[in-house]
Structure 1
Amino acid sequence: MFHLHTDVSVDVPKLLQPADKTLKTMASELAEYQICVDVFITSQTYVDIASVSVIPRTTGGQVYYYSPFSTLSDTAKLCNDLRWNITRPQGFEAVMRVRCSQGIQVQEYYGNFCKRIPTDVDLPGFDCDKSILITLKHDDKLQDGSECAFQCALLYTTVYGQRRIRVTNLSLPCSNMLSNLFRSADLDTQFACFLKQGI
């Protein structure tokens, strides 16, 4: 399992859809220029978070929401969140691609990112608190006893301006026995997957 992206093709309840399309256009422009936006909301009145959250969701950022904000009890948390947001390990201008063996393909990505082309995920900013969920689709017969290979390549810029690539490879055995699938399944990952898809 690799935070939270919702594809516009998925039916989103009307309450969760942004009311203002201007912010969506702005978010796409910010992502195009590799600008990551984090939003801190400390309002005591109503805020249209569905509209505002489009910008962090598209640019790889995050929404910090303190409701109702109290200067007595929430100031320390706000300062701590702001400090961590600036000092945590992070990268910029990232592009990620996932490749699979023949017979398997990437079905969907979930997380905070911008996706301009089907094969790549653009991450203007990413950090150690973010994750990307990738669902795979089995579309061809796989040989029992063979292995399926997966590769995730992430090209990014460090805070020191160095351009780096991180490649993660995974090889898993194929099996026709359903009991092997259940025995090897990671329940925590499955639960996180269903939860993120539901959100």
Structure 2
Amino acid sequence: MSNSRLPSRQYPVGGRITAVLASLPSHGPGALTAREDPNNRAGQSSPHLGPATDFYKKLALECSSQQVAVDLFSVAAAYTDLATLSGVSQFSGGSVHYYPGVHTQLNPAQTEAFERGLRRYLTRKIGFEAVMRIRCTRGLAMHTFHGNFFVRSTDLLSLPNVSPDAGFGIQVSVEEALSDTHTACFQAALLYTSSKGERRIRVHTLCLPVTPNMHEVIQGADQEAVTSLLAKMG
């Protein structure tokens, strides 16, 4: 994590980098210092919720351009500034796994959770060099995407890695009246390379009924998905 350039062996083929974080990076490019201020815990502003530097975002964009994703496993009990470090995963299509205080004797439950998560991470299916294009019914407009990826164009997401555990959210606005249609359609097409080197495409299409009744909209909403999205919109 301390070198700002990717190893040359990563350039032709891409792949993924798995980093286990046991402390705050303190040496070399990208070194960080603790930003917690005990005297400001009652303050109205929370600057430490945002990144302290754009170093890790720039590193992520370099990784993404070479089809490399970075996955972080944070196992430290102390402060590690994930608000800054998570950028290297967010913009490279990677993921962040948070297991604070892993210790085989002092915290066996967290250690077991870490082992289960790492086992799942290493054995689940994975896709490489992926791009996702999302379309929707005329009259609707997608204006914000949520998840770990790099937005290549208005409707195209770049995903160096993709897995069954990845999730993506989209904010959609109504630009024109939908009075002449009974359904609103959304389609996501994912083009990726399997672990066997096969180039594949998966298409998911969702059609939802259109209604002027707000009560029906609320009744039909996925509450868990809405809550998860709101928590990540920050």
Q: Alpha-carbon deviation of 1:75?
A: 4.2
Match of 2:70, SS? Answer: coil
CA contact (8 A) 2:150 2:157 kept: yes
Alignment-mate amino acid for residue 29 of structure 1: E
Match of 1:24, SS? Answer: helix
Match of 2:161, SS? Answer: strand
TM-score, with structure 1 as normaliser: 0.83
Report the Cα distance in structure 1 between the residues aligned to 2:60 and 2:181, rounded to whole angstroms.
46
Instruction: Name the counterpart of 2:98.
Output: 65
Q: Alpha-carbon deviation of 1:30?
A: 0.3
Q: Alpha-carbon deviation of 1:147?
A: 2.4
Q: Alpha-carbon deviation of 1:171?
A: 2.0
**Bigger CA drift: 38-47 or 28-37?**
38-47
Instruction: Name the counterpart of 1:109.
Output: 145
With over 3 angstroms needed to count, the CA separation of the structure-2 counterparts of 1:17 and 1:142, relative to structure 1, is same
CA contact (8 A) 1:147 1:172 kept: yes
- Higher CA-based Rg: 2
Q: Please point out which of 171, 188, 193 is paired with 1:152.
A: 188
Alignment RMSD, CA only?
2.2
Alignment-mate amino acid for residue 184 of structure 1: G
Report the Cα distance in structure 2 between the residues aligned to 1:92 and 1:157, rounded to whole angstroms.
5
Aligned residues: 187
Instruction: Name the counterpart of 2:84.
Output: 51
Instruction: Name the counterpart of 2:75.
Output: 42
Report the Cα distance in structure 1 between the residues aligned to 2:47 and 2:204, rounded to whole angstroms.
38
Report the Cα distance in structure 2 between the residues aligned to 1:46 and 1:109, rounded to whole angstroms.
29
Q: Alpha-carbon deviation of 1:44?
A: 4.2
Alignment-mate amino acid for residue 143 of structure 2: Q
CA offset digits 1:64-106 (Å, max 9, x no partner): 2332231322544333322211111221211111111110011
Identity of aligned residues (%): 35
**Bigger CA drift: 63-72 or 115-124?**
63-72
Match of 1:149, SS? Answer: strand
With over 3 angstroms needed to count, the CA separation of the structure-2 counterparts of 1:139 and 1:46, relative to structure 1, is same
Q: Which runs of 5+ in 2 are unaligned?
A: 1-44
Report the Cα distance in structure 2 between the residues aligned to 1:113 and 1:85, rounded to whole angstroms.
18
TM-score, with structure 2 as normaliser: 0.72
CA contact (8 A) 1:144 1:176 kept: no
Report the Cα distance in structure 1 between the residues aligned to 2:114 and 2:185, rounded to whole angstroms.
43
Report the Cα distance in structure 1 between the residues aligned to 2:173 and 2:88, rounded to whole angstroms.
29
Q: Please point out which of 47, 66, 77 is paired with 1:33.
A: 66
Report the Cα distance in structure 2 between the residues aligned to 1:112 and 1:125, rounded to whole angstroms.
10
Report the Cα distance in structure 1 between the residues aligned to 2:181 and 2:155, rounded to whole angstroms.
29
Instruction: Name the counterpart of 2:131.
Output: 95
Q: Alpha-carbon deviation of 1:144?
A: 5.1
CA offset digits 1:129-186 (Å, max 9, x no partner): 2210112110101125532222111111111111111111122232223343334333
CA contact (8 A) 2:72 2:96 kept: yes
Report the Cα distance in structure 1 between the residues aligned to 2:214 and 2:126, rounded to whole angstroms.
40
Q: Please point out which of 172, 181, 190 is paired with 2:217.
A: 181
Report the Cα distance in structure 2 between the residues aligned to 1:82 and 1:51, rounded to whole angstroms.
22
Q: Alpha-carbon deviation of 1:127?
A: 1.2
Match of 1:37, SS? Answer: strand
Instruction: Name the counterpart of 1:9.
Output: none
Report the Cα distance in structure 2 between the residues aligned to 1:75 and 1:18, rounded to whole angstroms.
28
Say whether residues 1:141 and 2:177 are aligned partners.
yes
CA contact (8 A) 1:150 1:169 kept: yes
